Structure 1
């Protein structure tokens, strides 16, 4: 059947009929491809010869494929050229006014003042190190003043040799025991403490007088004063330091216990110093007095320990 004739074609597959009332222009036929190669009418045309729906869809798909392929090619070219694929967003440039700057500055000052870091530290590192280097403070007791006076006088007492130094140091040492015994006699009611304190008061002046006579006879200097050109080394430094620390740490529940504990440390210091002078000095009188000191101080320490043992509250 020719395209110019009025005919009816049956479609064998779908059973539809397509009628052509007028000839279809060749231009439309060529562009839309409505005819087969044999010249027969392709199924799906309307009476006006327009492209069917499936032909339009195929054409759109072809255009879509072409646009997608072109876009892929353009993106590949841009990527090879180093051009970023994503579009950059425009940068927002903030604008400032006098009011906004003033508000921001005030807010920063308030936050800085209220922050914990703005507060000054309680103790700096220098203060902390200075505190650790300070010596241990003496516990305040009725005997604190007498102890401090004794230790200061013993530290400044020096002689030309070990014998003279020992004699000069033992004078304030005995004076300290005398002062502390007088203090405990005013406060205590214990019979044993009063007896031991009274014995110390009676014996110490005689020991001090003997040491002063030795200094006047052998040195010719005022007793208790540092001799000119005295020895730079102090062989009793260790014994003095140990005695001072022990006396400072000795405390008790009352005056009696405190005195007993402090006198034990006091007498132990005299023992240690006497042993040093026995090794260092060859003077007969100094060695005799040192030996008497060791015997008497040993007996006094035993008596004080026995008293502490009989009083459980003040036991060591």
Structure 2
């Protein structure tokens, strides 16, 4: 019996999410703090790319505005984090503390599906932000984190929480509109 190719739609975000996951896992630095910085840069670059893809899907105006704001915020955050990069020998062991939150974020985001790209993007970005917060919490539980890195973590956590509230409200609004049958 000839084999049949399995064909299914991986969705518009699949390759960007997979690249972000791979880039985060391979962003190894000199210490737990430097690993967090490198992984978070890859995280933000991935979030910006996922948001650019959402914009290519011609979303409603409100979602497009949120996606544009997300691209700018993610790019700006990556540039700020680059200032914290350290040179030195790679410390692979200090990167292992981030494996679980990276995997959890990736699994949660990849499990999101549906037919409405705007809703999918909102839900994926909420998981994206949760992942950043979890990675930050892991780092903050470590000893001897440089003060500048702690400050960056705290600023990032505040921004992620604020962004999640906006995204969750947009998701609730979208679901309410669908329930009422509004465009």
Q: Which of these residues, 158, 162, 166, is aligned with residue 36 of structure 2?
A: 166
CA contact (8 A) 1:251 1:261 kept: no
1:50-76 Cα shifts (integer Å, max 9, x gaps) = xxxxxxxxxxxxxxxxxxxxxxxxxxx
Q: Number of paired residues?
A: 168
Q: Does 1:282 align with 2:145?
A: yes
How far 1:139 moved relative to its partner?
6.7
Shift of 1:296: 0.8
The aligned residue for residue 250 of structure 1 is 112
Instruction: Give RMSD over aligned pairs.
Output: 1.9
Helix, strand or coil: the match of 2:20?
helix
- Other-structure match for 1:305: 168
* Structure with bigger RCO (C-alpha 8 Å, 6+ apart): 2
Structure 1 residues not aligned, in runs of 5+? 1-137, 221-226
SS class of match (2:109): helix
CA contact (8 A) 1:188 1:255 kept: no
- Larger Cα-atom Rg: 1
Conserved 8 A contact 2:29-2:92: yes
Q: Residue 147 of structure 1 contacts residue 176 of structure 1 at CA under 8 Å; is this kept in 2?
A: yes
Structure 2: distance between partners of 1:305 and 1:166: 26
Unaligned segments of structure 2, at least 5 residues: 1-7
Alignment of 1:134-149 (within 5 A): 140-149=10-19
Contact 2:59/2:117 (8 A) holds in 1: no
Alpha carbons 1:153, 1:172 under 8 Å: kept: yes
- Per the normalisation by structure 1, the TM-score is 0.50
Tell me which moved more, 255-264 or 198-207: 198-207
Mapped to 2, the partners of 1:206 and 1:276 lie a distance apart of 23
**3-state SS of paired residue (2:97):** coil
Runs of 4+ deviating beyond 3 Å: none
How far is 1:260 from its partner? 0.6
Q: What is the TM-score when the length of structure 2 is the normalising length?
A: 0.85
Task: Tell me the secondary structure at the aligned position of residue 141 of structure 2.
Answer: helix
What secondary structure sits across from 1:285 in the alignment? Answer: helix
Aligned to 1:157: 27
